Amino acid sequence: MRKSWAALTMALGLVVGGCATATNTSSQAQTDPGDPLEGWNRQVFAMNETFDHAVLKPTAQAYVAVIPEPARNGVHNFLTNLDAPVTFANDLLQGEVDLAGQTAGRFGLNATLGLGGLIDVATPAGLPYHSSDFGQTLGVWGVGDDPYLVVPLLGPTNPRDLTGYAADTFMDPLNYVGIRDYTYWAIGRGGAEILDTRARNIDTLDELEEGSVDLYASTRSLYRQYRKAHIQHGKTNVKDLPPM
């Protein structure tokens, strides 16, 4: 079931990428050449916002109010440590041998001295955290980020990153370990990751929403810039900077 879901997501990414040149369904003028599906994207964005305000944000706020910070940090550390094998694989695929070494070191230290990943002992030991994903790997290999997409629940993405998300699911060794009731484990882990991320960004997203004249366009800009920086591993490419 896990593999067929991942395959479906990858197929969706490829199909949508192929549809990029199809006619824009919106009657409004296109504002951005990298967003030919803007009409559809805005509708999905609005739907995601409604769901976020009605369900996700209140749940995250309750989580923050009820669960003390050390416990929440423990959950975050545990979930982050589970992602280490995928990060390690992508570090190698990108040719980042030093980073791969750091990832392996982090995983080993945190899984053992960090009590199964609950405590981040690796960062104070001089192994800083970073994440790598297959969408980023594809970007490093030269795959572009157009067209911009907003998908239900997952939010901002593009065919490359969507394909990458599915590929990471294939690559994750934790999806092949014989866990009884795997479906519940997958849903539990996925749900915990969404909740953890949302809880850590309550104020940031509130500020963004508060100060934005067009939240859809803000989110689009943030996503694309953030992913580009992630692919460049934080190195500023001054050629991309507009004249001021």
Partner 1 sequence: MNRLDIQPFIRLRGIVAALVVTIAALAVAEPAAAATPAEAFVSQNVQKGLTILNNHSISDTQRRAEFRDFLTSLTDIRRIALFTLGAARRTAAPADVDAFINAFRDYAVAVYESRLNQYAGQFLRVTGSTEVGPGDDVVQTILVDPNGKSNGEQPIEVDFRVIQDNGHYVVVDVSIAGVWLGQEEREQFSSFLQQNNNNLPSLTQHLQQLAAQVRAGGGQQQQQH
Residue 131 CB partners (closer than 8 Å, separation 6+) = 80, 83, 87
98 binds partner 1 (CB under 8 A): no
Residues 6+ apart with CB under 8 A from 158: 145, 146, 147, 148, 149
Among 77, 102, 137, 158, binds partner 1 (CB under 8 A): 77
Among 15, 97, 187, 229, binds partner 1 (CB under 8 A): 229
Q: How far is the CB of 5 from partner 1 (least distance, A)?
A: 28
The reply to whether 228 sits near partner 1 by the rule CB under 8 A is yes
Toward partner 1, which CB reaches closer, 177 or 241? 241
Decide: 165 and 159 in contact? Cβ < 8 Å: no
Give Cα 93 distance to the centre of its chain.
18
Residue placing its CB nearer to partner 1 in the complex, 65 or 241:
241
Given 14, 24, 73, 146, the residue binding partner 1 (CB under 8 A): 73
Q: In terms of DSSP bridges, do strands 149-151 and 155-157 run parallel, antiparallel, or are they unpaired?
A: antiparallel
- Residue span 14-43 as binding mask against partner 1, x where in contact by CB under 8 A, dash where not: --------------xx-xx-----------
Q: How far apart are CA 132 and CA 150, in angstroms?
A: 21
For residue 226, state whether it binds partner 1 (rule: CB under 8 A): yes
Task: Determine the Cα–Cα distance for residues 194 and 52; give it in Å rounded to an integer.
Answer: 11
Closest to 84 measured CA to CA, from 69, 101, 67: 101
For the CB of residue 6, give the shortest distance to partner 1 in the complex, in Å: 27
What gap in Å lies between CA 90 and CA 100, rounded to an integer?
8
Alpha-carbon distance 173 to 168, whole Å?
10
**Residue 211 interacts with partner 1 (CB under 8 A)?**
yes
Q: Choose one: 13-21, 94-102, 169-177, 232-240; the region binding partner 1 (CB under 8 A).
A: 232-240
Contact positions vs partner 1 (CB under 8 A): 28-29, 31-32, 73, 76-77, 80, 120, 123-124, 128-130, 203-204, 206-207, 210-214, 216-218, 220-222, 225-226, 228-230, 232, 234, 236, 238, 241-242, 244
